[in-house]
Amino acid sequence: MSEPMSLLQKKLEAGHFVVCSELGPPIGANVEFIKKKAQKLVGYVDGVNVTDNQTAIVRMSSIVAAHFAKEEGLEMIIQATTRDRNRIGLQSDILGASSLGLNNVLCLTGDHQSFGMDPGSKNVFDLDSVQLIRAVHDMVHNGVLLNGKEMKVPPRMFIGAAANPFGDPFEMQMMKVEKKIEAGAQFIQTQAIYNLEKFEYWMEEVRKRGIHEKVYIMAGILPAKSVKALRMMKTDVAGMDVPDSLIERMEKCEDPEEEGVRVAIEIIERVRKVEGVRGIHLMPVGWEKITPEIIERAGLYPRPEVE
């Protein structure tokens, strides 16, 4: 194993249960917005993903927003989707991000543009996520670009992939995970988990295949603050599995925000016990300020330091 590319990789290799969260860049050029959001997370997380035009909506670039958040003292994970850029643009961005000291990347295909506000735009999908993972792997570990050109100073990246434990058919989704690892993925962040039985079954299959020994798996947690948010995820978000029992529970409760936090903590406590889960990835979409509270109440504060 070569030396760690990033602080996040170091913490995982040291055996720490890591906590990642997410930061959505603004629709606009507001740097202060990012800095303020970032400051609230300092000390609470081991890494922060910055989404790349998530749900196909134009936002500040993931790399640029990550750069400003890093200046506030956070370890950043950039996201790169193959929807908007071809192999030339993607590799160029990897070089740029590494040069800025952004050394973690989550490689994604990306939501189809029909989800966003520009359904009439042309998509790219020159590469798929597996090909992007391999391209980044070859850049980092072999010092070559996709076209074979060698670099004197290769980028440094800890390479991540997404996985959806709730996608079907199950076997096909699992094969794709294996392909991502074969291509060079070193960590996995999963789709948001609400259906714990299904997630535990997925992890069982992951362990059977030895996947958990090849990559660090972070369980996706999406705290929801209202029953409306849960319903929306169930019907409108691609690849989500939200059990009706959870919707009922949120309906009946008196304080949905408090209940949302409790649910998130319960899920965290349960996934922590699952063999092979090496961390969590919090994605409080539209509710980022709740992150520190959840981390504290889940007993995950303070975060470990590594040399």
Partner 1 sequence: MIVGQQKKAEEIIKMLGEDWESLLIAGCGTCVTVSLAGGEREVEALANLLKLYYGKKGKKVTISTDTITRQCDFEFIDDIGEKIEDHDIILSLACGVGVQHIVQRHPLKIVYPGLNTSFYGATTAVGEWAERCIGCGECVLDRFGGVCPVARCSKSLLNGPCGGSQDGKCEVDDDIDCGWELIYNRLKDIGLLEKLLVYEDPKDWQPYRDGGPRKLTNKEYYDE
> Site residues for partner 1, window 78-97 (CB under 8 A)?
83, 87
Among 11, 37, 70, 134, binds partner 1 (CB under 8 A): 134
Interacting span for partner 1 (CB under 8 A) from 2-10, 91-99, 161-169, 276-284: 161-169
Q: Considering the rule CB under 8 A, would residue 170 count as an interface residue with partner 1?
A: no
Interacting span for partner 1 (CB under 8 A) from 5-13, 167-175, 259-267, 270-278: 167-175
Q: Considering the rule CB under 8 A, would residue 52 count as an interface residue with partner 1?
A: no
Among 117, 118, 125, 208, binds partner 1 (CB under 8 A): 125
**Closer of 19 and 133 to partner 1 (Cβ):** 133
Distances (CA, A) of 171 to 164, 178, 205, 303: 12, 11, 10, 36
Q: Considering the rule CB under 8 A, would residue 146 count as an interface residue with partner 1?
A: yes
**Closer of 149 and 252 to partner 1 (Cβ):** 149
Q: Considering the rule CB under 8 A, would residue 61 count as an interface residue with partner 1?
A: no
The CB-of-85 to partner 1 minimum distance in angstroms stands at: 13
Among 118, 168, 204, 258, binds partner 1 (CB under 8 A): 168
Q: Considering the rule CB under 8 A, would residue 171 count as an interface residue with partner 1?
A: yes
DSSP structure string for the chain: -PPPSSHHHHHHHTT--EEEEEEPPPSS--HHHHHHHHHHHTTT-SEEEE-SSGGG---S-HHHHHHHHHHTT--EEEEEESSS--HHHHHHHHHHHHHTT--EEEEE----GGGSS-TTSPP--SS-HHHHHHHHHIIIII-B-TTS-B-SS----EEEEEE-TT-SSHHHHHHHHHHHHHHT--EEEEEE---HHHHHHHHHHHHHTTHHHHSEEEEEE---SSHHHHHHHHHHSTT----HHHHHHHHH-S-HHHHHHHHHHHHHHHHHTSTTEEEEEE--TT-GGGHHHHHHHTT--SPP---
Among 127, 221, 224, 294, binds partner 1 (CB under 8 A): 127
Q: Considering the rule CB under 8 A, would residue 172 count as an interface residue with partner 1?
A: yes
Among 239, 243, 276, 292, binds partner 1 (CB under 8 A): 239
Q: Considering the rule CB under 8 A, would residue 163 count as an interface residue with partner 1?
A: yes
Binding residues for partner 1, rule: CB under 8 A, are 83, 87, 109, 111-112, 114-115, 123, 125-131, 134-135, 146, 162-164, 167-169, 171-173, 175-176, 178-179, 182-183, 191, 238-239
